[in-house]
Structure 1
């Protein structure tokens, strides 16, 4: 029989956010192979309009939160970590539900996995054990 170690919910959240970030990166990378995507990037067009500092700042802000969540999940006190994960997990689940509509099949698959992972983040945060040993 194999032994298993009980992981604290903070480490589970850490791992889930790391997985989410990898799916974001790979989904966006593979999207560049869609015909016209790279040309749009080279000509300065985005789904939000022409490239500007404001557009890039907004897109960066959207990715800063999930990129910080692995650290915040383990570094914040339990109560703050729980609420930050509840809010961020819910927000990024909703964003991905909106983003995958009309996407190519690979993007929809990645999106469904991202939705599952962020929903799992919400579930772990919502059911955060009161017992300090978990």
Structure 2
């Protein structure tokens, strides 16, 4: 059996729904990494133990859980929703999360939060890609 290592590799087209689900997965992982890495900043663990962190009430904690469940759920919704609602939902949720991440990135500029600013930039790029792919979703011409 002869193997041709110089031949071109197959590049199968990826369905838009899979691209969107992959992007939502990526952005969700970046959110998780950012929150995990934040545990290593000075005073963070102490604030968690003392209850003096940003999420210091049950309502704030619930709101954060609700907000961050959206990108995780978008992974599934991007795969199963009909194209019309899928496109609109990905554009609107993508814009919303881009705005949030830009705000977080701008307000996090400090010596210890360079990683957070970097991740906010990466997350903004990913959510802008979600908006872009959704906006450019191919239409079937009949």
What whole-Å deviation, never above 9, does each CA across 1:43-102 have from its counterpart, x for those lacking one?
A: 112326xx2221111111110101101000011111111111011100000000001124
State the match for 1:121 in structure 2: 130
How far apart in 2 are the matches of 1:46 and 1:13?
33
Q: Is structure 2 residue 75 aligned with structure 1 residue 70?
A: yes
State the match for 1:107 in structure 2: 116
Q: Please tell me the root mean square deviation across aligned C-alpha atoms, in Å.
A: 1.3
Q: Is structure 2 residue 28 aligned with structure 1 residue 21?
A: yes
Give the TM-score of the pair, scaled to structure 1: 0.92
The structure with more radius of gyration: 2
Give the TM-score of the pair, scaled to structure 2: 0.87
State the match for 2:13 in structure 1: 6
| 3-state SS, counterpart of residue 61 of structure 1 | helix
Asked which structure has the greater RCO (Cα within 8 Å, sep 6+), the reply is 1
Pairs aligned (count): 130
| 3-state SS, counterpart of residue 5 of structure 1 | coil
Q: Unpaired segments of 5 or more residues in structure 1?
A: none
The ranges of structure 1 where at least 4 consecutive aligned residues each deviate by more than 4 angstroms after the TM superposition are none
